[in-house]
Amino acid sequence: MDLLDYLPGVPDFPKPGIFFRDISPLIANPAAFKEAICQLEILASQFKYTHILGIESRGFIFGSALALHAQKGLVLARKPNKLPLATHRESYGLEYGTDSLEIQQSTLPKGARVLLLDDVLATGGTLVAADKLIRSAGFEVAGSLTLLEIEILNGRKLLTKHQIENRSVLKS
């Protein structure tokens, strides 16, 4: 099964010049979604981790399925002002603007080793921000996973610069 067949590209979304990969067909197809989670779990097994950090919002989908499958805890990295308790925050740049991520200060236990999970590695900015967020909160980052790496955007170079090990199921 070629999972790229289930990730159609949408040109000029959310703004001109961006080639957006839509995960909707993949998660709507039970066999493709299951295959994606199985492949993510194979890659995740290469890391020693206690929790998965699902990055808003598409990282929540893959993170929750993988956490359940791997029997690991799930932590949500949310956009600003979405969490009810005190948070840690990290701002970052996107290929089409800027944003921030937050986690609740009370979510992770002492000694947690966190595996970062997002759907796409594009420029790398979101994963670097998630790494900084987890480290500044006093936890270890085990590595990062993505379903898809868009190689032309060279996000892996930024991850390497920040010493973040990444594994991706697919490359395009």
Q: Which positions are catalytic? A: 58, 95
Q: CA-to-CA distance for 79 and 48, rounded, in angstroms?
A: 27
> 135 near 114, Cβ under 8 Å?
no
Mark 71-89 as b/e (b = at least 16 C-beta within 10 Å). Answer: ebbbbbbbeeeebeeebbb
Instruction: Give burial (CB, 10 Å; 0-12/13-18/19+) of 27.
Output: middle
For the chain, helix (H) and strand (E) counts, in that order, are 5, 9
Three-class SS state of 147: strand
Paired sense of beta strands 97-104 and 19-21, if any: unpaired
